[in-house]
Amino acid sequence: DLGRAQRAEYANEGIVIVANRDARDAIQTEVSHVRAYIEDTPLDDEDRSKHVKRLGTLTGGIGRLKIGTSSKLEREMMFQQAQRSFNVLSAAQRGGVIPGGGAGLLHCIPALEATAAANGAAEEEIMGMQLVARVISTPFFQIVKNAGMDHPPVIIERVRTAGVEYTYDALNGRIVNAYESGILDVVDVVSTALATAASGAMMALTTDAIVYHKEPKQSMQP
């Protein structure tokens, strides 16, 4: 006996079953248990995402996004944009967020400098940490420069002094609390970008020659 359901919907992608009203108390009890588990589980735990998905299912967190456009090309572009947005939200839920606009990396500089100054690290490791500490402010520097500010180093120092929750609002030209203003970056995206940049720099330093395409392929599609 599989019990009873209030409603069941079947489609090619799967089946959705809405529980009977009589089971609401039992569902709420299970929801409380799952939420307690999620709160006590580290963000990098492998089972955490499974329980987050289960919590969404138990609380009715099911949605369907319909995209309508006037052309096939526009529809494909909108679909890709929606897919990217979904991936970003999933990554944010999985790994968390940090102050955006490059401030997340900027606030890592003191920790890097302190680690490099500590005893016990090899000379090559110290040089590497010092190098990373000098360059990870570049994204923030470039954003401030693109916003029309004449002295980005001054803004950098002011943001660092304000605290780890602060960043620069390039649109309004002021230093703000990143979490209150919604200027955030996804941790997984930032860490992946940093790892990719480090990998590219290492390849450039260890490769005898770099070949550039004389006439690289161009595309007008985003």
pLDDT digits (tens, 9 = 90+) for 48-92: 878 888 887 777 666 677 888 889 899 899 989 988 888 888 788
Does the pTM surpass 0.85? The reply is no
H or E, element range at 167: strand 166-169
Longest dimension (CA), the chain: 72
220 has a pLDDT exceeding 70: no
Contact indicator for 133, 109 with CB cutoff of 8 Å: yes
Q: What is the DSSP-derived secondary structure letter of residue 182? A: T
pLDDT score at 119: 67
H or E, element range at 168: strand 166-169
Question: How far is the C-alpha of 69 from the C-alpha of 80, rounded, in Å?
Answer: 13
- Hey, what long-range contacts does 14-20 have (CB within 8 A, 24 or more apart)? 16/62
Q: How confident is the model at residue 176 (pLDDT cuts 50, 70, 90)?
A: very high
Question: How far is the C-alpha of 214 from the C-alpha of 211, rounded, in Å?
Answer: 9
pLDDT digits (tens, 9 = 90+) for 125-153: 888 888 888 899 999 999 999 998 878 89
